[in-house]
Structures are given as structure tokens and as C-alpha cells.
Amino acid sequence: MNDAASLSLIALTSYLGRQPILNRHGALVAYELLFRALPDTDARSVDPTRATADVVIGALCEQGVDRALGGHVGFVNAGRDWLMSDMLNVLPPEQFVIEILETVEYDERLAERVSTLKEAGYRFAIDDVSEQTQRRGRTFVEADYVKVDVQLWEPNALVGFVSSMHGAGKRVVAEKVETPAQYFTTYEAGCDYFQGFYFAHPQVLATRKIPPQRQSLVKLMMLLNMEPSIADVEEEVKHNPTLTMHLLRFVNSASFGRAERVASVREAIAIVGTSWLNRWALLTLYADGGTTSRASNALVQLVGTRARFMELAAKRIREGDDAFADAAFMTGMFSLLHFVLERSAADLADELRIAQPVAEALQGGPGELQALLRCAEAIEAPEDEAELEYVCGELAPLNPALVRLLFAAAGNWMAEYGAF
């Protein structure tokens, strides 16, 4: 890989650090989520607000909460700007604890803001408490957790401080625990939780970023698989200008033969239906980010033709079974999406709430949908005549000659509709 390609790959990769937090029994109970800059970038030079934003986006969107936290609680650092802004409200309060950085000046305005957030269910930790900072009268009233830097405490003083925090109903997290002696000291002092290199260095999670335009398409597909109202679909479609343009262009094309021009997104959705919209969102997802038009995009043409072929073949196998034909189309559409989003078929099935029969076919499970997918792959590879004949034997009344006719019809369909 050349240098330019390497830099491009790095720029499209999301990095998120996490360090375990253990209880007194040594069990994992939480992670502190940490900003991790691109390779060869000094994380210390990054603005704290941007660092927090990157951590939040990484946890919620790019890595996903399940992967980032694994069912545990996440501690996230927040400076004053974050604490005072509505950006913080994107974090689900039941899954995150907000760490107030040691550099934050705790005044009356901030106290009111923290109190309001606590009423909404948010929990707070005071970060990096030392003997010096607690002696300066730092406020702990609103905190649920107090994190002590073990390297900045004398053992006897720590015992007294932990006792006072327990008396006030706070939990104490010992951080920067790097040696057995420090663990013993903090354990004997009564600390509730422990974090530091003695237990584990921060782990860096890396995943490919999904560009914002693609994120909106993925979100739309998730919504469409939940039987939404037209109003909900309209709101989501409007977040994607490209899809909105394609939708209006399509319903106003000669194919519909409408005398009056459709100008409303809601009316357009009602005309085409959510099933069509789901298909079109998928097709747009394959094309999105490319410099070529949909009609010239080889991947779009391949997946669109494959999906339409599988739909036509399904109608021959089970006449009148529209649900099976639709499932066949969606199986074809989803069959190459893992290349675009760089997710496994299993992860995509879960993230996009793909119907169980389609999900099983995509993961190689037995059944007619999986056989249809193999049939499509065989007809796409002219040298695979033996496989085509074999799989047709599982899909009566299909035979190689009929498959070729259906595949040609699918190609014509894609040529007609793929330009929108």
C-alpha cells in the first residue's frame, strides 16, 4: 500500500481508547472512554471539547455502544463547554457517567446545570482529586463518584477522605494504580473501584468510519424495518438531500405518467411505498461516496441486477408469494453491503434489524433464499456452469436457460431504473 493510500485509510478509521474499572472483587464494572488521536498525532494538543466530541461520536456512532462498552457503564470526560451545552444530552444517562475534569471551575451556574442534569438521570464523577484540590474546598455535593489520583495522596489522608466520602454517599474510584503496593494501599483505604496500568493499559478500538451521508441512509433503513409512520419516514428522508432529490425525480418521471407534478416528500413516499424506499436507500448506499453516477457505478449495477434477478426467480419458485419475493430482493441487496460498510454479515443483520430469513441467508444458513443467492452468484460467473446446474436442482422449476432469461430481464430493469 502506498503512502497516500495509507493516509486515506487512517483518515477513515475511528480510534477509541478504553480502560477497565474494576470493583473490590476484581470484576469489570465500567470503562473510562479515552480520546485517541490519529497515529503520529499528539493527543495532548487537541482541544478538550473536540476530544470529548470524538469520544462521544466514537462510542455512539462509529464503534457502537455495545462494542465500546460491552454492557458496562462508560465514564466520559467533560470540560465546562460540554457540561453547559446541549451536546451532552445525546448520551443515554443509564449507560454513561460524566467525569468533570479537574480544570473546571465549579461555580453557581455550573452547579445549577449539574443539578438539572442529575434530575434527568445523569451521574457525575469528580476527576483527579488530590489532597491539595480537596483542601481547596472543591465541591463534591453533586458527585456520585469521586476519582482519586493515588499518586497524589498519603495513605493516612486517603483513609480519612474515603471515609468522609462514604459518609456522604459517594463511591470512590482509585485511578492511576500502577503497582501492587498502590493497589494494596487504596484497597485498605476502602476505595470502591480501581483503575490503572496495574490492571490493564488502555485498549484502543479501531473501526472504519461511516461518512455522515451513509450514516443517514443506515438510520433510514433501520427505521423502515420498524414499521414506521409516513411522518417519521418523511422526517428521516429529508435528512438526506440526495435521496430526497432521487425520490422526487423518480415519482415525477415518465414511468409514473402523472399529469400533476409531485413536490411533497410525504406525497412521494405515499406513492412509492416504504418497501420501494428501503430498496432505493440500499442502492444509494452502494453508490454513495463514489465519483461516478449510479448508472455508471459497477457495484450498483451488480447488486441491483442481482436483487431484481432473485426477486424474479422467487416469483417463479413460489407464485403469488409476495413476501418471499420481497425477501429474495432484499437478500440480493444486502449481499454485498459488508464490502461497503466493512461490517460482518452478522453485525449488519443486528444493526439494521434485518428480517430473520434474510439474515440467515446472508450468513450462509440453509434454505431457498441462500440457494437463490448462490444461483445469482453462479450466473454472474459464466465459467461456473456446473454450480449453476447444481443449484437449479434445488430451486425447481428453475433451470439454467430460464435463469439466463430472468437475469437478462433483471439487467434491463436495472438499466431503466438505475439512472434515477
Task: Supply the pTM of this predicted model.
Answer: 0.49
- CB-based burial of residue 5 (10 Å sphere; 0-12 exposed, 13-18 middle, 19+ buried)? exposed
The CATH code for residues 212-417 is 1.10.3210.10
Q: Which residue has the cell 456522604?
A: 168
Between the two ends of the chain, the Cα-to-Cα distance in Å is 35
Give the pLDDT band (50/70/90) at residue 370. very high
In this prediction, residue 117 carries a pLDDT of 92
Cell of 98: 460524566
Residues of the chain with CATH 3.20.20.450: 3-208
What mean pLDDT is predicted for residues 345-362?
Answer: 83
| More confident call, 369 vs 35 | 369
Question: pLDDT digit string (tens) for 225-274?
Answer: 788 888 888 888 776 666 776 777 777 765 556 667 777 788 888 888 88
Question: pLDDT digit string (tens) for 210-226?
Answer: 555 667 777 888 888 78
Share of the chain above pLDDT 90, in %: 26
- Average predicted confidence (pLDDT) for the chain: 78
In this prediction, residue 251 carries a pLDDT of 76
Question: pLDDT digit string (tens) for 120-152?
Answer: 999 999 988 887 766 544 566 778 999 999 988
User: Following CA atoms 113, 68, 12, 35 in sequence, which dihedral angle do they give, to the nearest 10 degrees?
Assistant: 50
- Phi, psi of 263, deg, nearest 5: -115, -10
Residues 6+ apart with CB under 8 A from 213: 240, 242, 288, 289
Question: pLDDT digit string (tens) for 73-127?
Answer: 889 888 888 888 777 777 788 888 999 887 788 788 888 999 999 999 999 999 8
**Beta strands, E only, 155-202:** 171-175, 193-194
Domain 3-208 in CATH 3.20.20.70? The answer is no
What mean pLDDT is predicted for residues 332-361?
Answer: 80
**Is residue 368 over pLDDT 70?**
yes
In this prediction, residue 282 carries a pLDDT of 78
Question: pLDDT digit string (tens) for 266-314?
Answer: 888 888 888 888 877 777 777 654 444 444 456 777 888 898 999 999 9
Share of the chain above pLDDT 70, in %: 74
Residues of the chain with CATH 1.10.3210.10: 212-417
In this prediction, residue 2 carries a pLDDT of 41
Question: pLDDT digit string (tens) for 53-69?
Answer: 666 655 554 456 666 77
